[in-house]
Amino acid sequence: MDQPKLERMLRLMKLMTGNVNYSVNDLAERLDTSYRSIYRYIETFKDAGFVVHKLDGGIYKLGKESRYFQDISQLVHFTDEEAHIVNQLIAGLDDSNMLKQNLRRKLSSVYNCTSMANSIVKGKNATNVNYLIEAIENHRQVVLHDYASANTGCRDRLVEPFGFTTNYVQLWCFEPESGMNKLFNTARIGDVEILNTEWSYEAEHREGHIDIFRTTGFEQHRVSLELGILSHNLLTEEYPLSERDIRQIAPNRWLLETFVCNYLGVGRFVMGLIDDIRIVDSPEFEKYIREKLNSNKI
């Protein structure tokens, strides 16, 4: 098998085992090939012993009951931050190292230079996450039994789940009771009950943003910070994705220009290093920090 074909099949396997449903035409477009080739690849999967499901709307998925599915799930997967770190490590290799370009080419061809994949959940959360994946695939409402919330206590929540954040840590859902899209922490779910009721609010489903401080929300606020050595080093160590939004402006001085979902995460960071950070052209955030300083809490 030639390498380009092998790479397409690996990427196809990744798409068919993910949480997003793709039709044959969608898969062909993403892999820059014909729909006839997709059908041939799917038949190859079947011949190799994989279980392939055809869902409504011409959606094809690799079945989790396949004897090979667990083996695939144990392969090395990368989160956004892990992928960023791997890229930085590769960038640190000497340009004369022949492996450098080979590594970059192979990673980018298979993972398409985006988030390389979600890590597979293990332990007590695995069963709940598998039920939620099934509910998402089949567009079913679920009950999150005994969901523990700091605001509302421990109670059942009726939701329509439609997506996960990195590593399946949180779950995007539409909650009919509140009429809002919300994030639910998978570790706080007691049990998951899949209902026979199909989604009723699909048009309302909308994922929010996740900023470099790992906070989530549906709004984005611009923040610009001038960083010293200490704050620069701590920021890039604790939040590796921040490097994408940082540029050096002077010896030992850097400028961070980014968008945040709310001021909580960035506010905590700035308050902890207030003497090494200068807020630049961000009046709303500057007001937020001033109010927190005056109240002496964050």
Would 20 be classed as within a structural domain?
yes
Residues 196 and 176 in one domain: yes
Residues 199 and 260 in one domain: no
Distances (CA, A) of 206 to 32, 121, 163, 218: 27, 24, 9, 9
CB atoms closer than 10 angstroms to residue 66: 17
Residues 68 and 127 in one domain: no
Per-residue pLDDT of the chain (298 residues; tens, 9 = 90+): 566 788 888 888 878 876 677 889 889 888 888 989 999 999 988 888 788 888 888 888 887 666 555 555 444 455 556 666 776 677 676 655 556 656 665 555 444 433 333 334 555 577 788 889 889 888 999 999 999 987 778 999 999 999 887 667 788 999 999 999 998 989 899 999 999 999 999 999 998 888 899 888 888 899 999 999 999 999 998 888 898 899 999 999 999 999 999 999 999 999 999 999 999 999 999 999 999 988 865 5
Distance CA 4, CA 285 (A): 48
Give the predicted TM-score (pTM) of the model. Answer: 0.51
Would 188 be classed as within a structural domain?
yes
Residues 103 and 136 in one domain: no
Tokens 């989790």 belong to which residue?
64
Residues 69 and 8 in one domain: yes
Residues 271 and 229 in one domain: yes
User: What value does the CA radius of gyration of the chain take, rounded to a whole number of Å?
Assistant: 22
Residues 134 and 190 in one domain: yes
Would 278 be classed as within a structural domain?
yes
CB contact at 8 A, 51 and 58: no
Of 182, 207, 232, the one marking the end of a domain is: 207
Residues 128 and 203 in one domain: yes
Would 128 be classed as within a structural domain?
yes
Contacts of 183 (CB under 8 A, 6+ apart): 165, 170, 171, 172, 173, 208, 216
Would 118 be classed as within a structural domain?
no
Residues 68 and 94 in one domain: no
First to last CA, the chain: 58
Distance CA 84, CA 87 (A): 5
Residue 241's domain spans which residues?
A: 216-295
pLDDT attached to residue 112? 41
Q: Which CATH number belongs to the domain containing residue 252 in this structure?
A: 3.30.70
Would 116 be classed as within a structural domain?
no
| 157 beta partners | 144
Sheet with 170-175, strands from edge to edge, namely 180-185, 170-175, 153-164, 140-149, 191-198
Distance CA 177, CA 157 (A): 9
Of 267, 236, 229, residue with least CA distance to 251: 229
Q: Find how far residue 95's CA is from the centre of its chain.
A: 31
Residues 47 and 103 in one domain: no
Q: How many structural domains comprise the chain? A: 4
Would 222 be classed as within a structural domain?
yes
**218-237 b/e (C-beta count within 10 Å ≥ 16 → b):** eeebebebbbeeebbeebbe
Residues 13 and 68 in one domain: yes
Would 63 be classed as within a structural domain?
yes
Residues 251 and 278 in one domain: yes
